[in-house]
A and B are shown apart, each in its own frame.
Chain A
Amino acid sequence: DADVTQTPRNRITKTGKRIMLECSQTKGHDRMYWYRQDPGLGLRLIYYSFDVKDINKGEISDGYSVSRQAQAKFSLSLESAIPNQTALYFCATSASTDTQYFGPGTRLTVL
């Protein structure tokens, strides 16, 4: 079984809809992250959480919110999706400041 799972893997939605992407991990890591990947821009950090009570904005947090429901679960929400949020979204985990481990990604299309 995968250590970091993301659901859904693919999602097509319409402008203005609320969307939630979920991430679960079995690695026992305290730190979790949400990134988006766009062609030519690499991976950009949206939000990160160093423990259940700690939530921090990344470099592109506008239009997004997160919830750390438990050590193993970190969800990303788009309150009102817009087309330029069409991207590949990755969740990652790490132990303290060590290597980050990524989930398989969610491909989101906003029409």
Chain B
Amino acid sequence: DQQVKQNSPSLSVQEGRISILNCDYTNSMFDYFLWYKKYPAEGPTFLISISSIKDKNEDGRFTVFLNKSAKHLSLHIVPSQPGDSAVYFCAARRAGGTSYGKLTFGQGTILTVHP
């Protein structure tokens, strides 16, 4: 049962344009969401996060939007740069209970930004 889903395996964008990566979740107990970026031969690195009490969080070129009613979040990268080409993972943390602190990851989306 995939509780966090990234339905687009890949995305190709022109340099300077907007990249939008999407993530859907099914568990309403998730209270915190994160995006990680992964380059080849490296481990995932934290990019940006959002709490379930917010609907938007912005950090430079990166903005994450959360729609709780739709159980959907998205990562916007504006403007996209070739160095943004990587695999992006969405992750969710469940509030409370014995699962507290554990992250559930999506399948990942490969972003390619063309010069």
Q: Residue A104 contacts which of B6, B36, B41, B108 (CB distance < 8 angstroms)?
A: B41
CB-defined contacts of A56 to chain B, threshold 8 Å: 98
Contact of A31 with B101 at beta-carbon distance under 8 Å, contacts A42-B107, A42-B108 already known: yes
Contact of A99 with B46 at beta-carbon distance under 8 Å, contacts A42-B105, A50-B101 already known: yes
Q: What is the size category of the interface that chain A forms with chain B?
A: 20 to 34
Instruction: Report whether A42 and B89 are in contact in the complex, using a CB–CB cutoff of 8 Å.
Output: yes
CB-defined contacts of A31 to chain B, threshold 8 Å: 101
| A34 at the B interface (CB under 8 A) | no
| B42 at the A interface (CB under 8 A) | yes
| Minimal beta-carbon separation of B88 from chain A (angstroms) | 11
Instruction: Report whether B106 and A42 are in contact in the complex, using a CB–CB cutoff of 8 Å.
Output: yes
Instruction: Report whether B45 and A102 are in contact in the complex, using a CB–CB cutoff of 8 Å.
Output: yes
Return the chain A residue nearest B44 by Cβ: A102
Instruction: Report whether B44 and A90 are in contact in the complex, using a CB–CB cutoff of 8 Å.
Output: yes
Q: Residue B42 contacts which of A42, A45, A101, A104 (CB distance < 8 angstroms)?
A: A104
Q: Residue B102 contacts which of A45, A96, A99 (CB distance < 8 angstroms)?
A: A45
Instruction: Report A38-56 residues with CB < 8 Å from chain B CB.
Output: 40-45, 48, 50, 56
| B50 at the A interface (CB under 8 A) | no
CB-defined contacts of B106 to chain A, threshold 8 Å: 42
| Minimal beta-carbon separation of A17 from chain B (angstroms) | 24
| A4 at the B interface (CB under 8 A) | yes
**Additional A-B contacts beyond A99-B34, A104-B43, A105-B43 (6; CB < 8 A):** A40-B107, A42-B4, A50-B101, A90-B43, A101-B46, A104-B41
List residues of chain A with CB under 8 Å of any chain B CB: 4, 31, 35, 40-45, 48, 50, 56, 58, 90, 92, 94, 96-97, 99-105
List residues of chain B with CB under 8 Å of any chain A CB: 4, 6, 9, 34, 36, 41-46, 49, 89, 91, 93, 98, 100-108
* 12 residue pairs from A and B, CB less than 8 Å apart: A4-B43, A31-B101, A42-B105, A42-B106, A43-B44, A45-B104, A90-B44, A104-B41, A104-B43, A105-B41, A105-B42, A105-B43
